[in-house]
Amino acid sequence: MKKSLRTATSLSLLLALILLNLVLYRGILPVYKDRLRWESTGKIIWRVPVDQKLIALTFDDGPSPTFTPQVLDVLNQFGVKATFFVVGRQVEKFPAILVREAREGHTVGNHMYTHSRVDKLSLEALIDDLRRADQLIYNLSGTRPHFFRPPDGYYDEKIVAAAEALNYQVVIWTWSQDTRDWSNISARTISERVLQNARPGDIILMHDQGGDRSNTLEALKLILPGLLEKGYKPVTLDELVESRAKKPGNSVQDQLHAQARRRAGGT
């Protein structure tokens, strides 16, 4: 009887802890909803419908003085271009790395200056933060970024409004291509996840900053030959969007062209 009571008490405590963790977890992470609505408008991209076997590698949170140069070396080794969503504070510390990214033909995107919890910022604070990073990138590369990836992949009306204010395209990532390389999983596990899930138009999420990214680096050395062997061509987000399949109602490409014209002072 006492043993059964102890077991019941232990289970009750365990259940209470699980429920508490869920509540706390939901309080930490933003809520994701209405993807279909946003995707249908073209204002947020998770993947791009293409007629060719194109796929985009993206790296978040850099630049890192340790890992970003090594990532660039591997990309150069395979003749591949990628997209780097940089954090303004990191750019200030390591400007030469951003200059190298741009010089070698990679796309540089805006991942905010502070990498803050965007769901906790006002619209004005978010725009100011993005603008600060935008100016840094422009001063160093001579080109203004036109892709914005919100930290944690969070999205809502405020994200879209901030992006529209600065003529940005919001880009998340293909959810089946979240490598979770930050979780200290092995390079082989990362590469197998990418290669097994690969589809034309996918946007792959990796990280070149935020801890020991050795697993990311080693995974990249497996992913690139694996993709090439499968007939995929890794490209920048610019190239992926430019190659978007011509379908009725397709507006993302036109939006990017319009953004470029507005930035150049045209109409």
Which of 106, 111, 146, 207 is an active site residue?
207
Q: Is 190 exposed, middle or buried (0-12, 13-18, 19+ CB in 10 A)?
A: buried
Active site residue 106: no
Which of 34, 60, 134, 178 is an active site residue?
60
Return the ∠ at Cα 225 (arms to 186 and 198), rounded to 5°: 70
Per the structure block, which two tokens stand in for 35?
């993807």
CA distances from 267 to 60, 132, 257 (A): 32, 25, 11
Collect all residues with Cβ–Cβ distance below 8 Å to 73 and sequence separation of at least 6.
none
Report yes or no: 190 and 181 within 8 Å, Cβ to Cβ. Answer: yes
Active site residue 60: yes
Collect all residues with Cβ–Cβ distance below 8 Å to 30 and sequence separation of at least 6.
117, 118, 119, 152, 154, 156
Q: Which residues are catalytic?
A: 60, 207
